Each structure stands twice: as C-alpha cells, then as structure tokens.
A = this chain, B = another copy of it.
C-alpha cells in the first residue's frame, strides 16, 4: 500500500489547507485584562456560506486509532470551515488533500495544537491516538448539504515509521 509521510504540523506547512490553532502560531499577541492575560488573537476565522448558517461550538469525543491506519476516504464541507482543538495534549493526526485524486498530506499535531480546515478542504475524519479524546469543534450549523465524501481509488497507509519523531512520548498535559 502506498505510504504517506507524516510531517510536523507547522503553520507554514499547513497554510494551503487552513490554520494551526496554538499559541506558537499567533501573529498578534495582546496583553489584556490589566496585564493578567495574553490574547493570541484571531488564530483562525470561521467561515459560513449559504443561507441560514451559524457558527456553532460542539464537542467531538473520538476513540483512538492505532497505527498503521489505512486512509480510504476523505470528506469536505463546502459550506463552512471546521476547527478541531484537542482538550488534551496527546498527539493526533491530521490528513488533508488538495483533491481526492491528489496525494494526501499527513501532519502530526501535538502539545495541544488544533487546526482549522478552510471551507471546502478535503480531510480525513478525526484521528485521535493513544486514548479517547475530546476535541472542541467550531463549524457551520445550518441548512444545506455540508458534507461530501469521496472514496479513494487506492488507499494510503499511515505508519508509525513515517513519523518525523517518536509519537508516543508526549504525555505532557498543560
């Protein structure tokens, strides 16, 4: 099976698909609340197209996957962006593609980093690792068909030895 390299998740590498949601990715940081807090401002902006859409806040509770993982399908949301932010600091995997025909790219998110998929970005459903994990989700809620799925002509394999660094050493909670 064709193997996908697993890349480190950086704002630059992920830019074609959306934004990384982490303090490190901030372009603007403000002191607020009389200096007792910092605002890492506008890490991502939510998108909603079509009539009647609202931006909602939901939670996903995802069972962990064990590597190797076969990537056999992708989905996209034509009417809105979708952000996932882990409510834990375990690593997880983000798989995106320019199209169902293109080679996907896989990113290892760690230390609590989240992502925002730009509207219409092809991506794999949530890939939690190690333990059941909760993720905050910010996406469009409203009428219209906002999910397309595509089966891949040939699967891609995500394997541990493709990772840029050891995955299973990140039990640091913040």
Binding site for B on A (CB under 8 A): 21-23, 26, 32-34, 36-46, 54-63, 65, 83, 85, 87-88, 112, 114, 116, 125-126, 134, 136-138, 141, 173-174
Asked if A57 contacts B112 (CB within 8 A), the reply is no
Asked if A43 contacts B62 (CB within 8 A), the reply is no
Known interface pairs A43-B59, A45-B55, A58-B40; A85-B87 also in contact (CB < 8 Å): yes
In angstroms, Cα B163 to Cα A27, docked, is 39
Residues on B with C-beta less than 8 A from A137 are 39
Which one, B37, B85, B125, B141, contacts A136 given CB within 8 A?
B85
Give the residue name and chain of the B residue nearest to A75 (CB): B33
Q: How far is the CB of A62 from chain B (nearest CB, A)?
A: 4
Give the residue name and chain of the B residue nearest to A63 (CB): B36
In angstroms, Cα B34 to Cα A43, docked, is 30
Asked if B126 contacts A33 (CB within 8 A), the reply is yes
In angstroms, Cα B54 to Cα A116, docked, is 15
Residues on B with C-beta less than 8 A from A87 are 85, 87, 112, 174
In angstroms, Cα B89 to Cα A112, docked, is 13
Known interface pairs A37-B126, A112-B87; A54-B46 also in contact (CB < 8 Å): yes
In angstroms, Cα B54 to Cα A138, docked, is 13
Asked if A62 contacts B40 (CB within 8 A), the reply is no
In angstroms, Cα B21 to Cα A118, docked, is 24
Residues on B with C-beta less than 8 A from A37 are 60-63, 125-126
Q: How far is the CB of A15 from chain B (nearest CB, A)?
A: 16
Residues on B with C-beta less than 8 A from A43 are 56-59
Residues on B with C-beta less than 8 A from A134 are 23, 112, 174
